Amino acid sequence: MLHPPMNIPYGISDYEAIRTRNFYFVDKTRFLPHLEQHNFAVFVRPRRFGKSSWLTILAAYYDQQRADQFDTFFAGTAIGKSPTSQANQYCVLYFNFSRVRSELEHVQPSFEDHTQNRLRTCLESYPESFPPEVLSSILAAPTIHSQLNRLFDAAAKLDVKLYVLIDEYDNFANNILVHAGERAYHDLTHGDGFFRQFFTVIKGGASGLGAGISRLFMTGVSPVTLDDVTSGFNIGDNLSLSSEFDEMLGFTEPEVRGILEYYREVGYVNLEIEESLDIMREWYNGYRFSEDQSSDVFNTDMVWHFVLQCKTNPKRKTPSYLIDENVRIDYGKLRHLILANRQLNGNFDRLKTVIEEGQIVSEVVKSFPLDQLHQPQNFSSLLYYFGLLTFRGAYRGRSTLAVPNQTVQHLILGYIRDALLEVGRFEVPKDTFTDLIGDMAWEGAWEPLFRYLAEQIEAQTSIRDYLSREKVIQGFLLAYLNINDVFFCRSEYEFNKGYVDLFLEPFVAKYPDIQHGFLIELKYLKRDEWKESKADELLAEAETQLSTYLQDSRLQQWGTLRFTGVILLFCGWELKEMRAVDLIK
């Protein structure tokens, strides 16, 4: 009898469920021996990268109560074939702070309830390590902080090996920062704030002679809270930028290929493997988590989203929704960083530069407190930790950071649109814009879209002075052209040894009947520099550039698709001229 197809583990973060309920499992257990070289570790990764799943793997492997289930959990895995001496040797204390409520009136009671429940569960799970009189003594302490201190003292005295796991350590603190403001966040993470005191206890349990914590592993999405609650990172090793662990979370291309081959074989994926990989590289790949990393990894949640969409939409070869909403960072988490008193600040300009220039040169620092987030290097680092930027090489000894993929580009452009809308800079009705994009893609009617944009700019005086140079206009157009998924909107794309300002590449895999693509060259004059002769010179230059780009051999391989070069000449905020340069095949 054939086995039923393995379930798709989208949204499943419980390792026990994955191994016992026929879910597909990508084996990362080869990293466990390397991780054992670091007793106290912090690992920061963007949302939906498998952090919670990894902690449940650690719990299953090191928990002494699960020794009789070792084969169930690890048969056939890398670590199952060569287990370390530390397998099933620990009492595990597991916190998950995503379960703590973040409303100010509820946060401390919810925190204390969660930590006390987890502490009691730990004590009751290991009666041989913590006999009744020890358990009673620990739980009799009046606060969770004093209970933890008694636990760590008892573990050291009784020679109990204790492994502390903390998942999403910064979850509720980040939410408080966004929704209640910096003052409430400061009260939580500084002075005698209960969250600050919690980490003071953890530090005490992990350091000095007779330390009660033998091992600690903690995850989050940024190092900001950690720096605030510990006055600088000094709990242990921050492995977030270590090349040794850059593939511990996230999928490599061979791993993704294996997933696709399996689910194509069982009939869930209709596209050919290479077609699927082409789409997934474009939308889900591109992450590098150390300067020394030479290959990219895929976001795990995005990969499973793709496969699940293929299964649930069997009549379509390509998923209807390529962007998984679960990877989206709430705009509110960036809003307070890029807006001050309803005015766009330097951080907004830095975010916008990423889109206008395609990359940014900045170091990624391991930790920094909130009150230093205004520093350009720290804000760039935060964008990296959020997964909005990734390592892409070096320039003059400094790191080059770039947007990893189309999904993230769409997210960033969405944040830019949200910020512009909030300060009254610009707004385009989405339905109207979508219709105009469709007319471009299927009928080749490109003039109405850019004429419409020009009319909207003309009608909104707040945007005029904002469009002050060519790169700003280019970024602005990208922000709105990316509302659609009919085209890949690429900036500074190489054709025939030159770089076109904007390339609207047809998304043929999703829309096989699409008819048109566009190469857009922008030219710009300041309002006090306008001269007909200068305008004619720029138009001629753009026509020569586009004629060269349109001869690129790659465009000849698109079958019946017709590519049109479009020249847009701006004078300040005003669109003065539109012209077409055609390549007819």
User: Tens digit of pLDDT for each residue in 106-136?
Assistant: 999 999 999 999 999 999 999 999 999 999 9
Q: What is the mean pLDDT of the chain?
A: 90
Asked if 42 contacts 220 with a C-beta cutoff of 8 angstroms, the reply is yes
Angle, to 10 degrees, between the axis of helix 346-357 and the axis of helix 470-481?
80
Tokens of 196: 């600050």
Higher pLDDT, 457 or 387: 387
Three-class HEC string of 303-318: HHHHHHHHHHCCCCCC
pLDDT of residue 467: 66
pLDDT of residue 231: 66
- Taking 60 as the threshold, does the pLDDT of residue 308 lie above it? yes
Contacts of 494 (CB under 8 A, 6+ apart): none
Weakest mean pLDDT among 97-101, 415-419, 422-426: 422-426
Weakest mean pLDDT among 10-24, 476-490, 491-505, 526-540: 476-490
DSSP H or E segment with residue 174: helix 171-180
Over range 475-500, report the average pLDDT: 88
Tokens of 276: 């699927």
Per-residue pLDDT band at 465 (split at 50, 70, 90) = low
| 3-class secondary structure, 519 | strand
Over range 146-173, report the average pLDDT: 96
Q: Which tens digit of pLDDT belongs to each residue from 330-360?
A: 777 787 788 766 677 788 888 888 877 778 9
pLDDT of residue 146: 97
Per-residue pLDDT band at 464 (split at 50, 70, 90) = low
Over range 285-298, report the average pLDDT: 92
- Taking 60 as the threshold, does the pLDDT of residue 27 lie above it? yes
Instruction: Give the range with max mean pLDDT: 152-166, 385-399, 547-561.
Output: 152-166
d(CA 371, CA 425): 28
Over range 528-545, report the average pLDDT: 94
- Taking 50 as the threshold, does the pLDDT of residue 1 lie above it? no
d(CA 463, CA 106): 42
Residue matched to tokens 């390529």: 322
Instruction: Give the range with max mean pLDDT: 212-221, 335-344, 375-384.
Output: 212-221
Per-residue pLDDT band at 483 (split at 50, 70, 90) = confident
Q: Which tens digit of pLDDT belongs to each residue from 538-560?
A: 999 999 999 999 999 989 888 88
Higher pLDDT, 3 or 412: 412
Over range 100-108, report the average pLDDT: 96
pTM for the whole thing? Answer: 0.89
pLDDT of residue 161: 97
Which has the closest alpha carbon to 167: 73, 239, 245, 93?
A: 93
Weakest mean pLDDT among 86-100, 122-136, 401-415: 401-415
- Taking 80 as the threshold, does the pLDDT of residue 571 lie above it? yes
Asked if 224 contacts 170 with a C-beta cutoff of 8 angstroms, the reply is yes
Which has the closest alpha carbon to 178: 384, 386, 381, 354?
A: 386
pLDDT of residue 585: 47
